[in-house]
Structure 1
């Protein structure tokens, strides 16, 4: 699987080159490597947010990279919980509204059971005043909301891009533990790109993403 882009001069360059990567169901994998090595691009490929230039991305029997954009959206809604560097929170909504937002994409309203579960997840993330708008939260608090939203529906796979980057060491360790625990409880596959050594140590497997050359990068 490869991912190519074109530079400002119109010439193509290789962003990522992964000969083969098989992730067992329920595995916890930490992606490590220098900034710009392709960790985020790999997460975006797995999520179906972008498609590879060559090769394919599959989840079980579903070839995600060949789905239409609409079907990839539906696959993400039913399968994924995502925490990316841009949290994609709705500033005007309160904490609880942001955590339960994915539920509204597939039902008319958020039921009492879903609300109570969301409150429990929020409490575990250290979020207490759920009526606060996310637009007034600190970046660290927003990161907690994003993680709570990602794990709330107990997805089959969780993708996390630097999920502890905005937290101090003590809170990063706490939230990292909660993220891993949530994945274990859900039986979810967890793939996490991070520079956080403590979070990487919680992963059962680690995958190095290395910059092989100015024009080619590969996973090793």
Structure 2
């Protein structure tokens, strides 16, 4: 399928500086989930994050997105310390910069495909512009969803995954974060989703960071971060 037209999108270098996250176990005892002394991700990079369940893959994506605050260290986008921003400023930065493919999709069942894809635009305006409606329809077609008026409640899991990816791409983000985008999909559907995610990121020049257990998807990334090797210890 032809690529979607995409205006030039400002990009940034992502730096994780002395990043650490503390949690508590089932008994309430604190422990350090992971530590990353320094990681610099250049604009347009595609990185796969691996590691066993519970090692902090999803938490790392949430830290990068500003949905969590680090226990220590900073998340920087270019020279801006995102982790130091107020909650409202982090929300604004996230809307302007990030497309997030959540593991559980977070679609609104009552809305149709096009409305779910265009949901980010509704954070700033109630009515969609004509060009926003056109982009939602174009993304739906690109994702192999020919009927944008179907309600999300009627979609298969694979179709919901495609809608979630399209929604993440709607604002032409400079940074795409994908949490287990091929989880629970068959081999064929997983390969198609991987193709769509990597191709659209490459076409727009976005940085793509993907947390996955899927070895076939992980093999598609030239750069990989294995959190099973990140230091874990009891918090002080």
Query: TM-score scaled by structure 1?
Result: 0.92
Alpha-carbon distance in structure 1 between the residues aligned to 2:230 and 2:130: 51
**How far does residue 216 in structure 1 lie from its aligned partner after superposition?**
5.9
Contact 2:175 2:207 in 1 (8 A): yes
Deviations 1:68-98 (A, max 9, x none): 1111111110000001112111111111100
1:31 to 41, 49, 56: 49
Q: When the two structures are aligned, how many residues end up with a matched partner?
A: 217
196-205 or 185-194: bigger deviation: 196-205
**How far does residue 212 in structure 1 lie from its aligned partner after superposition?**
6.2
Contact 2:36 2:230 in 1 (8 A): no
Alpha-carbon distance in structure 1 between the residues aligned to 2:27 and 2:213: 32
1:10 to 28, 33, 42: 28
Deviations 1:159-214 (A, max 9, x none): 00111113211111111111111111111000001122222222221111116677
> Which blocks of at least 5 consecutive residues in structure 2 are unaligned?
1-18
Judged with a 3 Å threshold, the aligned counterparts in structure 2 of structure 1 residues 71 and 198 are, in CA distance, closer, same or farther, namely same
SS in 2 for 1:31: strand
Aligned to 1:45: 63
Alpha-carbon distance in structure 2 between the residues aligned to 1:216 and 1:88: 33
Does 1:143 find its partner at 2:189? Answer: no
Does 1:100 find its partner at 2:107? Answer: no
Query: TM-score scaled by structure 2?
Result: 0.86
1:175 to 175, 193, 198: 193
Does 1:56 find its partner at 2:86? Answer: no
Alpha-carbon distance in structure 1 between the residues aligned to 2:231 and 2:73: 21
Contact 2:120 2:170 in 1 (8 A): no
1:185 to 199, 203, 210: 203
SS in 1 for 2:74: coil
